Chains A and B, each alone.
Chain A
Amino acid sequence: AQRVTQPEKLLSVFKGAPVELKCNYSYSGSPELFWYVQYSRQRLQLLLRHISRESIKGFTADLNKGETSFHLKKPFAQEEDSAMYYCALSLSSGSARQLTFGSGTQLTVLP
């Protein structure tokens, strides 16, 4: 069965510092990886999808199949980045594809 691990429940960095939120997964096939973000009192929103290879709000994430990781990075954190971040995985086959979530990392960017 697939599994997503986010080892840090809480992460604090100062404004302007680099930030990396870790995500590791276990799945024997080729999954699709996502990062979702939940700002205070708002809904879960898609931040990144690994196949898009985009940079959103300065965040990037690279899928490393050798290390089974999909860490989220930003070179210069901003206070508005403070939020809950969830890494999620879906299987690449099947039409209605369930998401398996990690437990989330609460990022706080300090002034």
Chain B
Amino acid sequence: EPEVTQTPSHQVTQMGQEVILRCVPISNHLYFYWYRQILGQKVEFLVSFYNNEISEKSEIFDDQFSVERPDGSNFTLKIRSTKLEDSAMYFCASSKYNQPQHFGDGTRLSIL
């Protein structure tokens, strides 16, 4: 069964540095999402992406965040200048129209 894949599985970065989290959605899916889960807290929606543009974004997704689909397969989340509070598990998901979302394994981001 096809899966959403995320790399790296764990990223350690100094505060203030830029970080890019990568995702390869399922190939025939058209809708892409990023969520995050701070340790001990809920899974929170960050952003959804369709037809090469952002569909929805949450209050968390401020100017330091951006998403991109640089080619036909990758979907990336960039955090421009990381803060300590960005430490979390970041999940990518993808779906077809009106179908449930399929999640990746997540990237654990640790900001030092």
Interface of A is mostly: loop
Closest to B97 in A: A95
Beta-carbon contacts under 8 Å, B20-73 to A: 31, 33, 35, 41-45, 48-50, 55-56, 58
Query: Would A98 and B56 count as touching, CB distance under 8 A?
Result: yes
The minimal Cβ–Cβ distance linking A38 to chain B, given in whole angstroms, is 9
Closest to A98 in B: B45
Interface of B is mostly: strand
Query: Would A86 and B33 count as touching, CB distance under 8 A?
Result: no
Which one of A43, A45, A100, A102 lies within 8 Å of B45 (CB-CB)?
A100
Query: Would A101 and B42 count as touching, CB distance under 8 A?
Result: yes
List residues of chain B with CB within 8 A of the CB of A99: 33, 35, 43, 45, 101
Given contacts A101-B42, A104-B42, contact A96 B49 (CB under 8 A): yes
Query: Would A45 and B103 count as touching, CB distance under 8 A?
Result: yes
List residues of chain B with CB within 8 A of the CB of A44: 43, 91, 103
* B-binding residues in A (CB < 8 A): 34, 36, 42-46, 49, 86, 94-104
* A-binding residues in B (CB < 8 A): 3-4, 31, 33, 35, 41-45, 48-50, 55-56, 58, 91, 97, 100-106
Enumerate 5 A-B pairs (CB-CB under 8 Å) in ascending A order: A46-B100, A95-B50, A95-B55, A101-B42, A104-B43
